[in-house]
């Protein structure tokens, strides 16, 4: 498969993982937009949020719980953090494998666009 994140998930592209289980991995973004910018991805290839199915409900929920766990480990839970998921080109998606951005370690702006 040509998907960058699938290659990371299988170990074909070596990456330092911050979290790993049978369903999900997490690693630092290569172009961070905050002191902490982590990508949380499912091992299963799902291109966009539009491609999620009812069978993916548990997986999508687990991504949020992994974000919560990582934020706590980084010590940013109480101060706050942002979770963001882009969908398709106009939504800002660049890699077509769903991924949750966890950003923290500084004051986030109120602007979302």
**Measured distance CA(5)–CA(98) in Å, rounded:** 9
9 and 43 in contact (C-beta within 8 Å)?
yes
Closest by CA to 98, choosing from 14, 20, 23, is 23
Q: What is the pLDDT of residues 41-50, one digit of tens each?
A: 999 999 999 9
Task: Report the pLDDT value the prediction gives residue 1, as an integer from 0 to 100.
Answer: 65
Range of the domain at 71: 4-104
Task: Give pTM, 2 decimals.
Answer: 0.94
- Asked if residue 111 is part of any domain, the answer here is no
Backbone angles phi, psi at 92, to 5 degrees: 95, 10
The count of structural domains within the chain is 1
- For the beta sheet containing 100-104, the strands, ordered from the edge strand earlier in sequence to the opposite edge, are 17-20, 24-28, 36-42, 100-104, 81-84
| pLDDT tens for each residue of 49-82 | 999 999 999 999 999 999 999 999 999 999 999 9
10-14, 23-27, 97-101 — which is least confidently predicted? 10-14
From 36, 37, 97, 99, the catalytic residue: 99
Active site residue 36: no
Q: At 30, which CATH number?
A: 3.30.428.10
pLDDT at 84 over 80: yes
Residue 111 is predicted with a pLDDT of 80
pLDDT of 113 above 90: no
Residue 112 maps to a domain: no
Please say if the pLDDT value at position 112 is more than 80: no
């Amino acid at each position: 498969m040509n998907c960058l994140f699938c290659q990371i998930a299988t170990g074909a592209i070596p990456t330092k993982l911050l979290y790993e289980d049978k369903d999900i991995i997490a690693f630092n973004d290569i172009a961070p937009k905050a002191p902490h910018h982590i990508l949380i991805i499912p091992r299963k290839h799902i291109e966009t949020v539009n491609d999620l199915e009812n069978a993916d409900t548990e997986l999508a929920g687990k991504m949020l719980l992994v974000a919560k766990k990582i934020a706590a480990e980084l010590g940013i839970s109480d101060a706050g953090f942002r979770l963001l998921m882009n969908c398709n080109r106009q939504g800002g998606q660049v890699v077509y494998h769903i991924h949750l951005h966890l950003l923290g370690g500084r004051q986030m702006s109120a602007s979302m666009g």
